[in-house]
C-alpha cells in the first residue's frame, strides 16, 4: 500500500484485498461489466448462475443453494434466519470472544461486542474457545477435543432443563478476534453431533478465512477432516477483493423450509451482474496464480521463521496457524502465560514506523495477527520477521537498561 506521499507500506493484515490491492484482473472485470450492464437482482442475468455454479464446485455437494448479499453481516444475519426457520428453535450457541457482525442480531451473538454493551441475551449461550494454548484444556490435556465438545453438550443440557431449544451452533471456522485460534481437528464433528441431536444446525462463518487462505483447503472448516460438513456456510470480506459481496450456502432442506413461509427473500443488490463478475474474477485469479499452494508455501516459511524467533525471544509464547492465517501470542511469563498487552501495542507501533502494517487480537490484545493479501511472498515474510526480531531485540535491551 502507498500513502499520499508515495511511501510504501507492507500490508500484513488486509484479508479483504484477498488477491492483492487493485488487482488488474478484478478491476478489469468490474469495469467491463459496469460498461455493459449493472442492475438489481429482479432481472435475470447469467453471471448469477455462473457464479453459483463456480462456488458450488469448491464446496461439498450437499451445500448447493446460494443466497447472494452485500456484506458478511448480512450473510450471518440471513444464516441466523435460515437456522431458526428450519429448526423452529430460537437459541444460539457461540464461542467466547466471537464476533459475527455489526447488525443488532449479530451483536447479540458476539461476546466480543455484547459484553461491553447490553450484555448476554437469554437465548444466547457462550461456550469456551477451543484454545489449546491458553484455554480451559491445553496441549497437555489427554483429550482436549472431547473436553471442549462436552462443554457444548453441557450447555445444551442446561438449556433444555430451562425449557429452551437450540437453533444453531454459530462459529468462525478459525476464530480470529478470539486470538487466531486453530480448533483441534475433530472438535467440529463432535459438536455437530451434539447440536444435531438437539435439533439444531451447524453454521460455519468463513468470512475471515475462506477462499484458500489456509492453503491446504479452500475452506477452513475442511481442516477438521473430510467427514465434516456444516449445514450453512457464510462468506464475505475476501469474496469480492474489497467489493461489497457476500454469500450464504446451505442445503436444499434448509432452503425449502425457509421458502415455505411464503415470504420471499429479496436483496436488491445481492448478486448483481457487477458483483458476480468480480466474484468470478476472484476465483479465476486464485486458480490462475495458484494462490492456495502459494499460501501453504509462504505460510509454512513464515511459521518456521517465527518459531525460530520464539526460541530467541521469551516474549513469544506461541506461534500457531495454517497457510496465511497465523497468530503470535506474546506473553509476560511462560508459567502463567500472562498476555503481554502493552508490549504487543509497542511492537505494532514500532512496526508501523518501519512501514509494516500489523495488528493485534485476542481477549488480551496480545496476539499478533497475520492475514495478509494472498500475494504476500517469501521476501515479504522474511522482511517482516527480520524487522520483528530487530524490534524485539531493542525492546529487550531497553528493558535491561531500565
CATH number at residue 302: 3.90.1150.10
**Is the predicted pLDDT of residue 117 greater than 90, yes or no?**
no
One domain for residues 49 and 185: yes
One domain for residues 81 and 120: yes
The pLDDT, as a whole number, for residue 35 is 97
Counting the structural domains of the chain, the total is 2
With respect to residue 54, please indicate whether it lies within any of the assigned structural domains. yes
One domain for residues 251 and 304: no
Helices (H), 313-377: 341-353
- 3 state DSSP class of 149: helix
Domain end residue (candidates: 289, 314, 333): 289
One domain for residues 161 and 295: no
Domain of 232 in residue numbering reads as 24-289
**Considering the chain, what percentage of its residues have pLDDT values greater than 70?**
100
One domain for residues 105 and 133: yes
One domain for residues 93 and 195: yes
**Is the predicted pLDDT of residue 183 greater than 90, yes or no?**
yes
| Separation between Cα atoms, residue 398 and residue 394, nearest integer Å | 6
Q: What angle do CA 243, 244, 250 make, to 5 degrees?
A: 120
Q: Cβ(254)–Cβ(86) under 8 Å?
A: yes
**Is the predicted pLDDT of residue 402 greater than 90, yes or no?**
no
CATH number at residue 79: 3.40.640.10
Q: Cβ(173)–Cβ(206) under 8 Å?
A: yes
Domain end residue (candidates: 289, 306, 336): 289
With respect to residue 3, please indicate whether it lies within any of the assigned structural domains. no
Read off the pLDDT of residues 142-172 as tens digits, 9 standing for 90 and up: 999 999 999 999 999 999 999 999 999 999 9
One domain for residues 274 and 315: no
**CB-hemisphere CA count at 13 Å for 263?**
5
| 206 — pLDDT class (breaks 50, 70, 90) | very high
**Is the predicted pLDDT of residue 338 greater than 90, yes or no?**
yes
One domain for residues 301 and 229: no
Rounded to the nearest 10 degrees, what angle do helices 252-259 and 72-87 cross at? 80
3-state helix, strand, coil in the chain (%, to 5): 40, 15, 40
With respect to residue 383, please indicate whether it lies within any of the assigned structural domains. yes
**What DSSP character marks residue 402?**
-
The pLDDT, as a whole number, for residue 263 is 86
With respect to residue 5, please indicate whether it lies within any of the assigned structural domains. no
With respect to residue 1, please indicate whether it lies within any of the assigned structural domains. no
Q: Cβ(376)–Cβ(17) under 8 Å?
A: no
Q: Cβ(360)–Cβ(350) under 8 Å?
A: no
Q: How many helices (H) and strands (E) does the chain have?
A: 12, 13
The pLDDT, as a whole number, for residue 305 is 98
**Is the predicted pLDDT of residue 401 greater than 90, yes or no?**
no
| 118 — pLDDT class (breaks 50, 70, 90) | confident
The pLDDT, as a whole number, for residue 4 is 95
Q: Cβ(247)–Cβ(271) under 8 Å?
A: no
Residues 6+ positions from 61 with CB-CB distance below 8 Å = none
One domain for residues 58 and 107: yes
Domain end residue (candidates: 289, 324, 348): 289
One domain for residues 29 and 82: yes
Read off the pLDDT of residues 244-295 as tens digits, 9 standing for 90 and up: 999 999 999 999 999 998 888 889 999 999 999 999 999 999 999 999 999 9
pTM: 0.96
With respect to residue 2, please indicate whether it lies within any of the assigned structural domains. no
| Listed range (65-69, 111-115, 231-235, 358-362) with the worst mean pLDDT | 111-115
Read off the pLDDT of residues 363-387 as tens digits, 9 standing for 90 and up: 999 999 999 999 999 999 999 999 9
With respect to residue 14, please indicate whether it lies within any of the assigned structural domains. yes
- 3 state DSSP class of 307: helix
One domain for residues 349 and 210: no
One domain for residues 74 and 216: yes
Amino acid at each position: 500500500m502507498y500513502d499520499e506521499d508515495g511511501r510504501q507500506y507492507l500490508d500484513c493484515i488486509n484479508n479483504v484485498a484477498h488477491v492483492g490491492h487493485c488487482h488488474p484482473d478484478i478491476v478489469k472485470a468490474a469495469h467491463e461489466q459496469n460498461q455493459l450492464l449493472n442492475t438489481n437482482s429482479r432481472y435475470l442475468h447469467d453471471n448469477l448462475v455462473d457464479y453459483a455454479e463456480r462456488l458450488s464446485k469448491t464446496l461439498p455437494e450437499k451445500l448447493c443453494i446460494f443466497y447472494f448479499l452485500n456484506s458478511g453481516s448480512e450473510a450471518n444475519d440471513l444464516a441466523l434466519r435460515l437456522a431458526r426457520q428450519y429448526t423452529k428453535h430460537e437459541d444460539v450457541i457461540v464461542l467466547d470472544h466471537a464476533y459475527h457482525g455489526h447488525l443488532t442480531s449479530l451483536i447479540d451473538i458476539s461476546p466480543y461486542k455484547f459484553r461491553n454493551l447490553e450484555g448476554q441475551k437469554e437465548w444466547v449461550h457462550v461456550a469456551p474457545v477451543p484454545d489449546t494454548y491458553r484455554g480451559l484444556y491445553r496441549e497437555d490435556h489427554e483429550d482436549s477435543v472431547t473436553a471442549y465438545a462436552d462443554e457444548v453438550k453441557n450447555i445444551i443440557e442446561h438449556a433444555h432443563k430451562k425449557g429452551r431449544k437450540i437453533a444453531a451452533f454459530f462459529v468462525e471456522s478459525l476464530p480470529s478476534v478470539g486470538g487466531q485460534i486453530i480448533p483441534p481437528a475433530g472438535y467440529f464433528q463432535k459438536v455437530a453431533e451434539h447440536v444435531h441431536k438437539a435439533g439444531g444446525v451447524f453454521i460455519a462463518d468463513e468470512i475471515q478465512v475462506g477462499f484458500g487462505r489456509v492453503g491446504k483447503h479452500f475452506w477452513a472448516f475442511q481442516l477438521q477432516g473430510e467427514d465434516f460438513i456444516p449445514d450453512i456456510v457464510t462468506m464475505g470480506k475476501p469474496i469480492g477483493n474489497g467489493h461489497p459481496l457476500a454469500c450464504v450456502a446451505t442445503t436444499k432442506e434448509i432452503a425449502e423450509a425457509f421458502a415455505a413461509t411464503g415470504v420471499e427473500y429479496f436483496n436488491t443488490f445481492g448478486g448483481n451482474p457487477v458483483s458476480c463478475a468480480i466474484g468470478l474474477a476472484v476465483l479465476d485469479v486464485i486458480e490462475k496464480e495458484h494462490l492456495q499452494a502459494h499460501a501453504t508455501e509462504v505460510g509454512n516459511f513464515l511459521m518456521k521463521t517465527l518459531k525460530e524467533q520464539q526460541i530467541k525471544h521469551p516474549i513469544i509464547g506461541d506461534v500457531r496457524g495454517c497457510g496465511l492465517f497465523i497468530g503470535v501470542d506474546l506473553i509476560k511469563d511462560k508459567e502463567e502465560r500472562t498476555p503481554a498487552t502493552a508490549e504487543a501495542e509497542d511492537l505494532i507501533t514500532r512496526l508501523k514506523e518501519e512501514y509494516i502494517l500489523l495488528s493485534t487480537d485476542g481477549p488480551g490484545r496480545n496476539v499478533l495477527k497475520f492475514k495478509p493479501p494472498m500475494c504476500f511472498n517469501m521476501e515479504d515474510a522474511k522482511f517482516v520477521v527480520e524487522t520483528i526480531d530487530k524490534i524485539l531485540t531493542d525492546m529487550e535491551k531497553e528493558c535491561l537498561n531500565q
